[in-house]
Structure 1
Amino acid sequence: MAQKTLFITGASSGIGAATARLAVEKGWNVGLFARSEDKLQALVEELGDKALALPGDASQLEEQRRAVDKLAGHFGDVTAAFANAGRGTSAAGTLEGDPEDWQSMVTLNVMGVLWTAKAIAPYLQKNKGDLVLTGSAAGRRHIKGSVYSATKWFVHGYAGNLAEEFREWGARVTVVAPGMVDTPFFDEAKPDKLKPEDIAASVLFALEAERRASVREIFVMPTD
């Protein structure tokens, strides 16, 4: 059986780290991409030789390209990617929002996703693999003045466009849209909301679906 290798952005904590753990449990190799080298190394120590730390900035195309190529060189190929890196903004709304903070967030949430798709596309064209994007329930409804929500609307629209492009190669694209998840994304804990492991399970569901089935969107909302 060919080895399965997954490139994960935003892998140092939260949904990314939970996805890495579950993927390794299910027999995948994982490439862990994030800026926090210390956290990545700690995760590699936990996961063992099926994990590779790839420190880098998701907002930089060449850093993502180098990381994907390094991962392919280490494990032989990259058969899937999870464009998960993203962040919110400090002040909500247009009037109170910080333009520099908007620029930084849009660069990561929008361009960072584009860069993951660009970096992985040559591999998926050859191996008919998978790309998963982290969307959001906020990307399917209108939230007063939310620039963050608008970036996730982009992710949902782009995921559908990518799916139509990649299907010509036999590759698949999925957007996973969580409601509120108890992760470091928020300043305060959200113990009654979703856990990162819930979203990781959705990512692996899409990746491991029978090849005849292309899981385009998965919405995961807190029960309570």
Structure 2
Amino acid sequence: MPKTLFITGASSGIGAATAHAAVASGWNVALMARSEDKLRSLQNELGDAAAIFPGDVTQEADLLHATSGAVDRFGGIDAVFANAGRGLSKPGTEGGDLEDIRGMIDLNITGLVMTARATLPELRKTQGTLVLTGSAAGRRHIAGSIYGATKWFVHGCAGNMAEEMREWGGRCAVVAPGMVDTPFFDQGAPDKLQPEDVANAVIQIIDAPKRAAIREVFLMPQA
């Protein structure tokens, strides 16, 4: 019976690429994002192996609905990719818009924690794997980067979750890419990773044998 991967931020970019890679590897996928139209288009591409759950990961009711829906459709959840996140329209501590900053922190930190809270009871049943989207920005200091600070949280959270989940046979990992060729980066270095590169790393993590816990995959463009 195919295993099931639950993906947030699934409608485009890394999330959509991971959905394609997972289905190609024999997984079912439960896809959550705010854009219902994009999710439906992705579902049409993936066929019966995909179920969609439009919603916002900062809203507990949406997460619980998506989690229970995935279990009803596929019988359980074997892995979760907490991928939803965003940057700022104008970076910087003083120059950024305060509401924009609050929204980013709510999504990148609170939304991640809420995703874990909603899905951990199902992962406990399957001794499953939780993967968090970190960043190269969460591994080094960048002047004034509040976005980078949220990713430092993600990296710390992944390590702490790995220790917690290990107690009952689960695994937690962080996948940390540099610049990826998605709408998230509309400018910057000309040589970027592709979403498929990150997706392949996620599949490596969740397909690893039970005896092996991959804690972090750090990806950078090979210029």
The TM-score bracket by the shorter chain reads over 0.9
TM-score for both structures, normalised by structure 2: 0.97
Q: Which residue of 1 aligns with 2:75?
A: 76
Q: How far apart in 2 are the matches of 1:189 and 1:29?
A: 35
Q: Which amino acid aligns with 2:111?
A: G
How many residues get paired? 223
Q: How far apart in 2 are the matches of 1:26 and 1:192?
A: 28
Q: Which residue of 1 aligns with 2:175?
A: 176
Kindly state the Cα deviation for residue 91 of structure 1 after the two structures are TM-superposed: 1.5
Q: How far apart in 1 are the matches of 2:189 and 2:165?
A: 36
Q: How far apart in 2 are the matches of 1:27 and 1:157?
A: 31
Q: Which residue of 2 aligns with 1:137?
A: 136
Kindly state the Cα deviation for residue 192 of structure 1 after the two structures are TM-superposed: 2.2
* Residues 1:26 and 1:198: Cα distance change in structure 2 (over 3 Å): same
CA-based RMSD of the aligned residues comes to: 1.1
Aligned-pair identity in percent equals 61
* Residues 1:215 and 1:188: Cα distance change in structure 2 (over 3 Å): same
Q: Which residue of 2 aligns with 1:59?
A: 58
Q: Which residue of 2 aligns with 1:220?
A: 219
Q: Which residue of 1 aligns with 2:45?
A: 46
* Residues 1:65 and 1:191: Cα distance change in structure 2 (over 3 Å): farther
- Aligned residue for 2:222, secondary structure, equals coil
Please identify, of 180-189 and 86-95, the stretch whose mean Cα deviation from structure 2 is larger: 180-189
Moved over 6 A (4+): none
Q: Which residue of 1 aligns with 2:28?
A: 29
Is the 1:182–1:189 contact (alpha carbons within 8 Å) kept by the matching residues of 2?
Answer: no
Alignment of 1:124-203 (within 5 A): 124-188=123-187, 192-203=191-202
Is the 1:9–1:82 contact (alpha carbons within 8 Å) kept by the matching residues of 2?
Answer: yes
* Residues 1:94 and 1:191: Cα distance change in structure 2 (over 3 Å): closer
* Residues 1:165 and 1:12: Cα distance change in structure 2 (over 3 Å): same
Kindly state the Cα deviation for residue 126 of structure 1 after the two structures are TM-superposed: 1.3
Kindly state the Cα deviation for residue 57 of structure 1 after the two structures are TM-superposed: 0.6
2:47 corresponds to 1:13: no
Once the two structures are superposed, what CA deviation does each residue of 1:101-148 show, in whole Å capped at 9, x if it has no partner? Answer: 110000000011101110111011111011000000000111111100
Q: Which amino acid aligns with 1:104?
A: G
Is the 1:32–1:40 contact (alpha carbons within 8 Å) kept by the matching residues of 2?
Answer: yes
TM-score for both structures, normalised by structure 1: 0.97
Once the two structures are superposed, what CA deviation does each residue of 1:144-169 show, in whole Å capped at 9, x if it has no partner? Answer: 11100000000000000000000111
Q: Which residue of 2 aligns with 1:106?
A: 105
**Structure 1: runs of 5 or more not aligned:** none
